[in-house]
Structure 1
Amino acid sequence: MTRQGRWFHTPEQRPDADRQLFFFPHAGGSAAYYHRWAALLPGVEVRAVQLPGRQERRTEPPYRRTGPLVEALHEAIEAELDDRPYAFFGHSLGALLGYRLAVAIQEDGGSGPALLGVSGWAPERFRPVDALLPLPDGEFAAAVRRFGVLPAEAGTDPELLALVLPAVRADLALVADYRDDGGGVGCPVAAYGGRTDPTLEPGGLTEWARRTPAFLGVSEFPGGHFYLTEHALAVATDFSRHMQRVSQQGKLDTDRKAGR
């Protein structure tokens, strides 16, 4: 397996799919979180990003600074793109990474994603995590559970908690390292969130309207930070609808420019 190949999981190979969708995980999460989305998105090739420090990449040191990780993702994803349009979707830390990667591709003059889906995070309206990082493991686990960024299943299984906690700590260091520069993306953005998410200030997701020329609105669902676990089908259905519309509009624009 190549170095770049380790960054991506493809639950179902779909070379005939007309679009690719890259998923970015939440803090402490892995590519496996999105494997079931392949069944929810027919006609799309799902590519789930696997960050260092978890599952088969557990022996690799996790990133703790946002800039170097985005640079590594930028290098890795270039080998995965083909002529098909593609989109990004990220939850929590994944939304941060998808957003910054889209900005980096755009600044580098590349062909960015046709659509960006962001869930449970906004560039300026997320609550700071800096105070959590110096805590010893026991206090850290309790604090992140109260903060809402630890999946419920990890909190009840000591063995799973021991596996997840180092990645959660490293990923929250990434969030703490993030410095907003006000950058925008050139593609449409669709935002999703839980109505009682404690990690965001009220109305925080509406901030995305300032970061895109085409804001597709906010869809909120019952639940907290991990609302997405229960509402994956509804979010996938809505995001798929947006992808189809963006794809159709892109084809119309291409035909218009070609005089067809």
Structure 2
Amino acid sequence: MSWQPGTWLQPESAPADARLRLLLFHCAGGGASMYHAWPARFPSAVAVQSVQLPGRQDRLGEPAFVRLDELLETLTEIVAAEDDGRPFAFFGHSMGALLAYRLTVELERAGLPGPAVTAVAGWAPEGFRTPVEGAAGGQSDEVLVRELAKLGALPADLLDADPQWLALALPAIRADIAVCAGYVDDAAVVTAPLVAYGGAADPLMEPDALGSWSTRTRGFLGARVLPGDHFFLAEAAEAAVIAADLAHLLLRHQA
């Protein structure tokens, strides 16, 4: 086992009285803290846990993954080990959406219990504009940040951060871009129901990109476009809409 239990999920355990579990996957260059306000948006029946990838925030001293296949293999082990018999669901934003989708694929292919619902935001298997090809290496930090900012692929709070703090975050950003660059689409279809969300002014998404999700699941629950750009989740109102929607879907499924 190449991972340590308890380091990947925040909080480490789900309350025993929760009937369902929701695992959240953060965007490239981000961390579990992007979902700090989410648990309070859900009823007590839903235990909300954020997945924290290594190489950032409280895991800054650990090497970040740069290969998608290795990351998915580890995440598959973790989800299987954490399975306690309760229904669970995935939600991911941007790179997190890619991970939520491909982790669903991996679990189903392995014959392991998969999510009751997979929810994705800010990414699509078709019509997504990958930011800064080859950005995992080559460019200087200044050029990389400028290109990512121009594409709207960095959150405002990261752009406004102290330069020293930004320098600490850049290795994780480069690693995450390398992870995403390693994705080769095979048009995999999952049996888990899938719902998609996007920002109306997201510069990384083609107008019809969210619709491509309908071909990747046998149970498409629809696509919802909300106000905002690629980081529309940063707005409390939009995050609350998604949380309420997911809570309804999960509790309806569990019933």
TM-score by length of structure 2 reads 0.93
Partner of 2:91: 89
1:53–1:29 Cα change, 3 Å: same
Matched, 1:136 2:143: no
Matched, 1:242 2:245: no
Query: Could you give the per-residue CA deviations for residues 26-80 of structure 1, whole angstroms, max 9, x where no partner exists?
Result: 0011111112110001121111101010012111111111110000111112121
Query: Could you give the per-residue CA deviations for residues 101-130 of structure 1, whole angstroms, max 9, x where no partner exists?
Result: 110000000111000000000112211331
What is the alpha-carbon distance in structure 1 between the residues aligned to residue 60 and residue 141 of structure 2? 18
Please state how far the C-alpha of 1:12 moved relative to its aligned partner.
Answer: 8.1
The answer on whether the counterparts of 2:29 and 2:176 sit within 8 Å (CA) in structure 1 is: yes
What is the alpha-carbon distance in structure 2 between the residues aligned to residue 203 and residue 72 of structure 1? 32
Q: Percent identity?
A: 45
Comparing 54-63 with 130-139, greater Cα deviation is found at 130-139
The answer on whether the counterparts of 1:11 and 1:38 sit within 8 Å (CA) in structure 2 is: no
Report the 3-state secondary structure (helix = DSSP H, G, I; strand = E; otherwise coil) of the residue aligned with 2:228: coil
What is the alpha-carbon distance in structure 2 between the residues aligned to residue 143 and residue 7 of structure 1? 30
Partner of 2:8: 7
Amino acid at match of 2:110: D
Partner of 2:60: 58
What is the alpha-carbon distance in structure 2 between the residues aligned to residue 44 and residue 188 of structure 1? 18
Amino acid at match of 1:232: A
Report the 3-state secondary structure (helix = DSSP H, G, I; strand = E; otherwise coil) of the residue aligned with 1:6: coil
What is the alpha-carbon distance in structure 2 between the residues aligned to residue 16 and residue 5 of structure 1? 19
1:108–1:12 Cα change, 3 Å: closer
Please state how far the C-alpha of 1:168 moved relative to its aligned partner.
Answer: 1.2
Aligned runs of 1:109-120 on 2, under 5 Å? 109-120=111-122
Partner of 1:105: 107
What is the alpha-carbon distance in structure 2 between the residues aligned to residue 53 and residue 17 of structure 1? 30
- Structure 1: runs of 5 or more not aligned: 249-260
Amino acid at match of 1:183: A
Amino acid at match of 1:188: P
Partner of 1:175: 180
Please state how far the C-alpha of 1:184 moved relative to its aligned partner.
Answer: 1.2
Aligned runs of 1:33-44 on 2, under 5 Å? 33-42=34-43, 43-44=45-46
The answer on whether the counterparts of 1:126 and 1:199 sit within 8 Å (CA) in structure 2 is: yes
TM-score by length of structure 1 reads 0.91
Partner of 2:127: 125
What is the alpha-carbon distance in structure 2 between the residues aligned to residue 184 and residue 73 of structure 1? 19
Structure 1 consecutive aligned stretches of length 4 or more whose deviation exceeds 4 Å? none
Amino acid at match of 1:160: W
Query: Could you give the per-residue CA deviations for residues 177-223 of structure 1, whole angstroms, max 9, x where no partner exists?
Result: 11001101111111001011111111101111001111111111111
What is the alpha-carbon distance in structure 1 between the residues aligned to residue 102 and residue 13 of structure 2? 27
More helix by share: 1
Amino acid at match of 1:55: Q
What is the alpha-carbon distance in structure 1 between the residues aligned to residue 80 and residue 5 of structure 2? 9
What is the alpha-carbon distance in structure 1 between the residues aligned to residue 34 and residue 113 of structure 2? 27
Amino acid at match of 1:32: S
Please state how far the C-alpha of 1:13 moved relative to its aligned partner.
Answer: 4.6
Matched, 1:204 2:206: no
Amino acid at match of 1:141: V
Matched, 1:16 2:17: yes
Amino acid at match of 2:53: L
Query: Could you give the per-residue CA deviations for residues 137-173 of structure 1, whole angstroms, max 9, x where no partner exists?
Result: 0010011111112110111122332222211111111
Please state how far the C-alpha of 1:131 moved relative to its aligned partner.
Answer: 4.4
What is the alpha-carbon distance in structure 1 between the residues aligned to residue 242 and residue 165 of structure 2? 27
The answer on whether the counterparts of 1:188 and 1:214 sit within 8 Å (CA) in structure 2 is: yes
